[in-house]
Amino acid sequence: MSDHTAEEMMAVAAARRLRDGATCFVGIGLPSRAANLARATNAPNCVLIYESGTIGAKPRNLPLSIGDGELAETADIVVSVPEIFSYWLQGGRIDVGFLGAAQIDRYANLNSTVIGGYEHPKVRLPGGGGAPEIAASCDETLVMLRHSPRAFVERLDFRTTVGYGDGPGSREELGLKGRGVSAVITDLGVLEPDPDTCELTLTQVHPGVEPEAVVAATGWPLRVAEELATSPAPSNEELVALRALRTVDEA
């Protein structure tokens, strides 16, 4: 089964990044799909945590919202919202944060607040939600978004969530406990921060994607790793598991 969409490749590439047994704070949408794919394939023992306070959720169908009854019914425990953010997230107990965003810059800072000016926005987006503290406190953070010059920008319209701030040393200066964004998974490939400069660098392309196409879809001069890997195409098992994931309204 080699036929797959770019969207499916993105979900599979993201799921593979989640190691078995990890505790994972999951955003809704693309991250939730990928995290539940990981739970069905390579990371059956990962612990999924949603900001509604559901710890160890094992949804049979993908929830539409972060607080669906499905999450509460299948969780090990349900705690209050103040508790999930203070004791569990800020307490430093979560390995991986899994986020989406509308915009990202070269230092993996994220915007999910506004497009255009803050006072008179062109598009008012939902806002930060759980993201700022998820990216601050989780040991590492994975980001998923579709590649385009409008999303991968030279300058964010608003910095909602800090990746590497202004570059090396920023996270330490700001007192952020987690290590920061470890990978950005898109429909074209995977970007990882350079260990010295923290700048996002193309380290992996999906099958059939030329690095030039990724550079063209990025709004800053994207650096390409000298040893560029190609993502293994989704396996039969991964595609079957992914296609079996239904949102609650489709189930």
Q: Is 51 a catalytic residue?
A: yes
Question: Which residue, among 71, 76, 180, has the nearest Cα to 134 in the 3D structure?
Answer: 180
Contact of 186 with 10, CB cutoff 8 Å: yes
Q: Which lies closer to another protein via its Cβ, residue 25 or residue 152?
A: 25
Closest approach of another protein to the CB of residue 37, in Å: 17
Q: At what angle do helices 30-40 and 236-244 cross, to 10 degrees?
A: 120
Which residue carries 């997230």 as its tokens?
Answer: 89
Minimum Å gap between C-beta 215 and another protein is: 28
Cβ closer to another protein: 13 or 135? Answer: 135
Read off the DSSP letter of residue 85.
Answer: I
- DSSP class of 62: B
In the complex, minimum distance from the CB of residue 33 to another protein, in angstroms, rounded to a whole number: 11
For residues 40 and 165, the answer to whether their CB atoms sit within 8 Å is no
Shortest Cβ distance from residue 4 to another protein (Å)? 24
Residue closer to another protein, measured from CB, 127 or 232: 127
Active-site annotation holder among 7, 8, 51, 227: 51
Question: Which residues of the shown chain bind another protein in the complex (CB under 8 A)?
Answer: 28-29, 51-54, 63-69, 71-72, 78, 80-82, 85-86, 89-90, 113, 118, 120-133, 136-137, 158-162, 165, 170, 174-177, 247-249
- In degrees, rounded to 5, the angle at the alpha carbon of residue 155 between the alpha carbons of residues 51 and 133 is 20
Coil/strand/helix, residue 141: strand
In the complex with another protein, the residue whose CB is nearer, 90 or 197, is 90
Distance CA 27, CA 129 (A): 10
Which of the residues are catalytic? Answer: 51
